[in-house]
Structure 1
Amino acid sequence: MEVQLIISFLTASLLLSVIPGPDNIFVLTESITKGKKNGIAISIGLALGVLVHTAAAATGLSIIIQKSAIAFSIIKYIGAAYLFYLAFMSLKEKKLELNLFGSPDQNKKDGFYLIKKGFLMNVLNPKVALFFIAFLPQFISKSGFNVTLQMFVLGLIFAIQAFVVFLFISILSGKLTKYVNNHKFWKITKWSKVGILSSLGLVLLFSKK
């Protein structure tokens, strides 16, 4: 794997993790309403869920990439179309109304329950699986080592950086509260998300393997 590809992947992954989405918004609200420990436990579960999607994408896509140029081209165009679709849906997104007032009895959940909650939230979301199928192939190098192993490495990198981002969100949740209901903040993040997803779609569309 080329260092340049890894840096590009890490940069894209960080941008996608930082921009508000279902996962980091959930971590933020859990941390604000029920405490930082809850947010951190949820973050661990979400990051572990990423590894499951990586395994699924790696075992299936690696065979396609290595065995059939035509099949990979089809996957590539479908993946690019899906990224454009996500960009379009982001364009239509409205400012989220977040519930910052959790009920006291919800604070009693233990760490394992919260980790499991974050894990299942990620693993059972088919949109995450589709995203990884669209996202990972554009950072695979045919001149590098085994394609399956490359995907596992990329998935591990994504999981680690996502956990670090979610961890910071949990720790800084109190200071981030002022941005939650800021209209300008949501407008900037919405257009940033549209730009990032559209760029990833274009890169995948014109990539050559």
Structure 2
Amino acid sequence: MTFDELLARARGLMDRERALLGICGAPAAGKSTLAEELVAALGPRSVHIGMDGFHLAQAELARLGRTERKGAPDTFDAAGYVNLLRRLRSRPPGETVYAPAFRRDLEEPIAGAVPVPPRIRLVVTEGNYLLLPDPPWRSVRELLDEVWFLEPAEDDRRRWLIDRHRAFGRTPEQARERTFGSDERNALLINATREAADLVVPVTPR
């Protein structure tokens, strides 16, 4: 589908009081890029919220012994993400709901970074595990009006992921080790959930 077709589909969700659109896919599939482009085109009644804001802090990952597996399902506050989606769907009268964001330069989540005022009609949320069937992740799918699954060619996706790791300070060797190690294991888990999506979107290099 073209971007204009995706934009029209997203705009159609804004006919209701508030809708939640999920964009899912493996690491570096282009989720945040598409979400940001949609929100920029849809205007001030839409907002982008990333699941990555629910990464556990580095100190907590170290305490749990999960630092090397950062990005796996159990390295997120999944229940917190579900609770946020429930609040966003309930549209508390007159209340601005605040969501966290993830700073890749710091490798840390930042609380209260994204305001969602009552006027917002479409929340575009993106992340790896929106379609995961295991609790508490399985509650995510029930709270989203639609989920789109982004599907680039795997060679392209891995190349983009290596480039992203290098852009944030990893050496070429570290970037490849992360991409073909823990990131690849996560990608296999994520790709296995594609059939639960409302729409599978092929992604091609620009």
**Do they superpose with TM above 0.5?**
no
TM-score, length of structure 1 as denominator length: 0.28
Higher share of residues assigned helix: 1
Higher relative contact order, chain-length normalized (CA < 8 Å, sep 6+) = 1
Q: Whose strand fraction is larger, Structure 1's or Structure 2's?
A: 2
TM-score of the two chains, using structure 2 as the length reference = 0.28
